[in-house]
Amino acid sequence: MRVSKTSAAANGAESGIPAATAVPADATAEAESAPVAGTVARVRKANKRAKETPTGLVRRARRMNRELALAFPDAHCELDFTTPLELAVATILSAQCTDVRVNMTTPALFSKYRSAKDYAEANRTELEEMIRPTGFYRNKANSLIGLGQALVEQYDGVLPNKLDRLVQLPGIGRKTANVILGNAFGVPGITVDTHFGRLVRRWKWTDEEDPVKVEHIVGDLIERKEWTMLSHRVIFHGRRVCHARKPACGACILAKDCPSYGLGPTDPAQAAALIKGPETEHLLELVGL
């Protein structure tokens, strides 16, 4: 909480600082009442949020999505790919690995393995060596070889575009399937990764921890046509502004609608220093910094 200079001076006078430095009594009273008023305002805001109706939550969530669209008009999948199979492979490799590292690894991989059949018949040692930089390379090699074999045997080497079929394939869970559907096939899907789950809980859209439950709850809040882009926007926001340990609250476009405002520094200058990514200048302009 920021304390005014008059309040600090008044407190100093009570502690024995010479009377010459004291402020008038009416100014002292006004300064002392300011923190109380601020506390009351926060309590009222918290109570209002606690009493938020389902309709109110839908409106707030959609309003926040619109703000995110202004903040990140170019939000997109940050994994490089040109085909649905390449996206599936890249998403499998992204587990416990950064997108940047995956994108450094996949060009050579995609050049050597161009089809499901190539992965199905891959030399395990060679494949493991190529994907070693992404970590957990043995398990990931198992998934890629298994994926190739399943596609060849069940779908003539072509990746299906249905959720129920995708999740039956080696290495592809619901999150990966939604990434593939939304970005390779244009089928709306919500990708609940670490950033997405963390932020929607921070925003009190849901308290659920289970990714599938989070997906369904958020899907009821946001229009279906927005699901894929919402996922990108939330992930962008989580990586650039709403960090796990110290969110940039004082420079956040969502501040007025965020029940967790104040979790990070609210001082604009301090918060601005926490913003990351190529959109930094644009994000700061949106909040008048």
Gap between the Cα atoms of 64 and 204, Å rounded? 12
- What is residue 152's three-state secondary structure? helix
Tens of each residue's pLDDT in the chain, 289 residues: 433 433 333 334 333 333 333 334 444 344 344 444 444 444 445 545 568 999 999 999 999 999 999 999 999 999 999 999 999 999 999 999 999 999 999 999 999 999 999 999 999 999 999 999 999 999 999 999 999 999 999 999 999 999 999 999 999 999 999 999 999 999 999 999 999 999 999 999 999 999 999 999 999 999 999 999 999 999 999 999 999 999 999 999 999 999 999 999 999 999 999 999 999 999 999 999 9
Structure tokens at 65: 């999505």
State the amino acid at position 2 in one-letter form.
R
Active-site residue set? 175, 193
pTM, full prediction: 0.78
Structural domains present in the chain: 84-184 (1.10.340.30), 244-289 (no CATH)
Q: For 130-141, give one letter per residue: b (16+ CB within 10 A) or e.
A: bbeebeebeebb
- CB of 232 within 8 A of CB of 210? no
87: exposed, middle or buried (C-beta count within 10 Å: 0-12, 13-18, 19+)? buried
- CB of 171 within 8 A of CB of 140? yes
pLDDT at site 51: 83
Q: For 29-47, give one letter per residue: b (16+ CB within 10 A) or e.
A: eebeeeeeeeeeeeeeeee
pLDDT at site 49: 57
Gap between the Cα atoms of 203 and 198, Å rounded? 9
pLDDT at site 10: 38
